[in-house]
Amino acid sequence: MFDLILKNGTVVTPGGITETDIAVMNGRIAGLGDFSSAKKTIDCKNLHILPGAIDTHVHFREPGLTHKEDFTTGTLSAIAGGVTTIFDMPNTDPLTITAKTLQDKLQMAKGRAWCDYAFFIGGSADNTNNLNVLEKMPGCCGVKIYMGSSTGSLLTAEDDIILSILKKCVRRIAIHAEDEERLKSRRHIAEASHDVKDHPNWRDAETALMASKRAVGLAREAGQPIHLLHITSADEMAFLSDHKDIATVEVTPHHLTLSAPECYKNIGILAQINPPIRDKHHQEALWKAIRNGLVDTIGSDHAPHTLDEKDKIYPDSPSGMPGVQTTLPIMLNHVNKGRLSLERMVDLLAHRPQCLYQITGKGRIAVGYDADFAIIDLRKSNTITNKWIKSKCGWTPYNGITVTGWVQGTILRGSLVMWEDEILESPEGRKVILGD
């Protein structure tokens, strides 16, 4: 007898969409077919079953910044949105740049995380010599480089340091690519206006393109594959189309959904994020890159701040917005509007992240894989509200927006942890296992 059977669902597998039951045993997928005997059965008639989403780009703020997020609230928000695995970034306090700070974070998450997790180590001049050891530690998903927009030793703007990090590591390296010198030279634009509408003027497309070109050149010199995060511009996409052999590409739901100048007029400082939300010309280039296969992953770049923090006068206001809970609803709405297929969405949110980071047993509905599922009502319309958000920050840039496509339930390793927006069970998240 199986532990669980998902009956009558429409299932998105690596081979395509099919009508089949899913049998679960000991937290893993035991079979696809026609099954009837289980301790628990969930009728998924008229529902789609997707692999639980993998969000490889979140900032859950713990340790040091837990007034706006922590592992409990961040992973709860993930589960509420059908995300079953997250990769957390290293810009915490203290920075995650040593074996001790990594182990501390793993200990903090143990018993409190609602979804499965791994953590990035920050690449810096201070830890270059032992990054090859740190990146292979259990619970580490890889190394993150900040070419711009960071502080302390996490800011790695110099080519020689970036190159030494690239040469030291084996796993694909994640990079925030904005040119720090250009950012500093153009900050006067923001300081003169004190208007967030100038955010994409200060941090213009050339700032991103310069850094992306440098990153790709250094990656080629080192022979090290890189993953460029939150690409925002038509200029970068045109350049990166010739460099798929060395650089993979992430985009975010907010850059695909919000556009300038409307977003700055409608929600003001809540739209401030790095790299910035740009105009529709750039947004359409992102969608074109999704359609032609240039984009590899979608990451939320979930980076919450409190509303009080956001209320500071620009540019002293912090950049970042919550997103892990809204990724699937927003992207399902795009599916329903015909901007991408359901299969392509699942590829971006599950199949490709699993492949790029060599995540063991995640991201696919196939026998032997973890029984992580997002159960979707593709035709259900619902309104996203601040009240629905589980993040400690308590707000979303999509407040009041009605979408079509909603997460009916979330299953983590065979346990139903969310159904109809109600959180069930208890936090049972574990660190993920990654291949070499």
Do residues 309 and 394 both lie within one domain?
A: no
Give the end of a domain, one of 329, 357, 385: 357
Domain range holding 316?
53-357
Residues 86 and 205 in one domain: yes
Task: Note whether 302 and 251 are within 8 A (CB).
Answer: no
28 and 93 in one domain? no
Predicted local confidence at residue 56, as pLDDT:
98
Burial track 350-361 (b if 16+ CB lie within 10 A, e otherwise):
bbbbbebbebeb
The label of the residue with tokens 């893993």 reads 28
Q: 160 and 21 in one domain?
A: no
Q: Domain boundary at 357, 376, 398, which?
A: 357
| Amino acid symbol at 365 | I
Is there a domain that residue 362 lies in? Answer: no
Same domain, 142 and 41: no
- Tally of residues, the chain: 436
Is residue 75 domain-shared with residue 103, that is, in the same domain? Answer: yes
What pLDDT was estimated at residue 416? 98
375 and 344 both lie in a single domain = no
User: The domain that contains 384 carries what CATH number?
Assistant: 2.30.40.10
Q: Where are the beta strands (DSSP E) in 106-264?
A: 116-122, 140-146, 173-176, 226-228, 247-251
DSSP per-residue codes, 75-121: HHHHHHTTEEEEEE-S-SSS-S-SHHHHHHHHHHHTTT-SSEEEEEE
- Would you state the pLDDT for residue 424? 96
Token digits of residue 277: 């939300």
- 3-state secondary structure (DSSP) of residue 180: helix
pLDDT at 153: 83
**CA distance linking residue 55 with residue 91, whole number of Å:** 17
User: 84 is written with which tokens?
Assistant: 């079953």
| Residues 232 and 350 placed together within one structural domain of the fold | yes
Residues of the chain short of pLDDT 70, as ranges, are none
Instruction: Report residue 422: phi and psi, to 5°.
Output: -100, 130
What letter represents residue 341's amino acid? S
Q: What is the pLDDT of residue 38?
A: 94
- Please report whether residue 429 resides in a domain: no
Q: Do residue 70 and residue 42 come from a single domain? A: no
Which residues, 6+ apart, have CB-to-CB distance to 152 below 8 Å? Answer: 95
Q: Residue 203 belongs to a domain with what CATH number? A: 3.20.20.140
Q: CA 302 to CA 189: how far, in whole Å?
A: 26
- Report if residue 436 sits inside a domain: no
